[in-house]
Structure 1
Amino acid sequence: MKNKRRGLQTVELQNPPKIIASSTTVGPKEGMGPLSEYFDTILEDDKNGKETFEQAESSIMYSTIKDSIRKANLSETDINYLFAGDLLNQLTSTNFVARELDIPFFGLYGACSTMAESLGLASLIMDGGFAKYVVASTSSHFSAAERQFRFPLEYGSQRPETAQWTVTGAGAMVLANEGNFPKITHVTTGVVKDYGIKDAGNMGAAMAPAAVDTICRNFKDLGRGPEDYDIIATGDLGKFGKQLTQRLMMEYGYDMSKCYIDCGEIIYDNEKQKTNSGGSGCGCSAVIACGYLYKKLMAGEIKRVFLVSTGALMSNTSSLQGESIPGIAHGVVIEYDKEGVM
């Protein structure tokens, strides 16, 4: 069997899965941001007609997955696996989605890195010949995550400038073996990095070293640099985490200024919407990847994207015990040439 590994952490897929459909759902605040035209469904009510925020999160992931399968002209029974996750304890939102779907299920927790993690694992499964159709999905909800990881909403705590706003949203992609669609060509799996950051209000700083490590490793494993990508998109470092990442990359000799975006920085108008450093949460890179990036690829505006979803591997218990915040970043390379050259 031909060796598919490239360098230390990257796999080159011999049979790259195609992303044949995607779908996104976002909350009202995200719908008022600058990227609203790229989202499929914008909620009018962040509870989505449910009694609790957790139920609302499940409902938006469920409807997003169903919509992606519908767009692919498939049924649930056509899907071989569902790879999905969220931020809540024991993957509460995702588990209750999976019970309503007739699809074999892998529940994933990579914190806010879960979208790239789900895409990466789904791609490996498909490249190995173990599936024909797979769905990768991720969600988060501001109000559900806020009261689990930070403070009760009624508390009205003041947010530092480095703080971020958890995105209410869900994204889903359907992967298939065939078709002229954007394809996942490489998977770069991250290594946990922890530089002692303990401030839960500055998760961008906690995750930036992991993002830098994964991006640098992708470059070294594939002999590439920033110039080889139209867009390099980190998941949710926010304004300050992005600045730190750019500075650290420059120290390694890589200038990413022409191609680098952060999903958390672009999803909101931070000044007008008072979201401080920007967006965060599993749903952040999910809705940007499944909406903004996918639609730009399909339109032929870009040809090669490196999606690097970033996650802070903390819990409310670890923070109360004084632990630092480990970071992780998983990357997938997505390529598409409408003319079929790439």
Structure 2
Amino acid sequence: MTDTIDAEARLDLYRTMVLVRLFEEAMLREYHADKGPGFDIGKGLVPGEMHLAAGQEPVAAGVCAHLTTDDAVTATHRPHHFAIAHGVDLRRMTAEIFGRETGLGRGRGGHMHLFDPDTHFSCSGIIAEGYPPALGQAFAFQRQGAGRVAVAVTGEGAANQGAFHESLNLAALWKLPVVFVVEDNDWGISVPRAASTSVPSNAARAAAYDMPGERIEDNAVEAVHAAAGRAVARARAGDGPSLIEVHTLRLWGHFEGDAQAYRKDIEDVPGRDPIPTYEKSLRDAGLLDDAAAAAIRESATERVEDAVTFAKESPVPDPAGALRYVFASGGVS
């Protein structure tokens, strides 16, 4: 089921999805550019692990379309799509991924630990970690009475963590303005959901905590938009939390370097790419043609490449300041 959504809003969803995909493709390119010979995770301009969200764009686009930067989002270790959709500065985010001084965390956090107070965005490499902090944000919003909302995102594997259930329980008990989002991409690293989760849909678990639960199939961005609209409106009205699970798609590996030998569906994955699917629906509706699609991609490409250039040209943190921003004292501003 979709809501009544106008033409410009539909195009905005598409623009967000394209921007996210082009950013992830650029990160894929830059991450692998100097990892050889072979594959050394510690080498290159972007050392360390990298988790990319290609295929999961509909979740972030559909949810964040209903938010402002006064609302809060806590994301997962695969965070770029939600950060972009929520309006995190692309230059500073890219610089953080590259470990540069101009980054969101001055290059100290990296891609799994993005933190942006300007948009109330954060993420973590710890499974289900974002759920409890979202309750704290929602509790503050509730006391302020300003109608602000916290969105907590996790994967389907993390829905088996204690933090998930504790957070749903407390949010329902206190009627906090939270929207819980579960991205079901079928795989908890290399474990299929059926081998780890006793219910076919985590949305069914919402009933145990007396909140609405809804599962969106087929990675459908407009259906996500509709469900998120209902959940955000409920939260803003003071009626408490909701749970949305989206059956989405991980186009690439759990992390870059993942051989995916465990994955039997890998040959079918490109055919389920949500961006060409949504583009076709917009073309069929007469909302998009070759020129408009090309212009959207060109604009997004310019933004992404500008951010990459900014990151590469930014300074690397001075090793002598490694402990700066770790400890606070009265004499340090």
Which interval holds the TM-score relative to the shorter structure?
Answer: 0.3 to 0.5
TM-score by length of 1: 0.32
TM-score by length of 2: 0.32
Q: Considering fraction of residues, name the structure with more strand.
A: 1
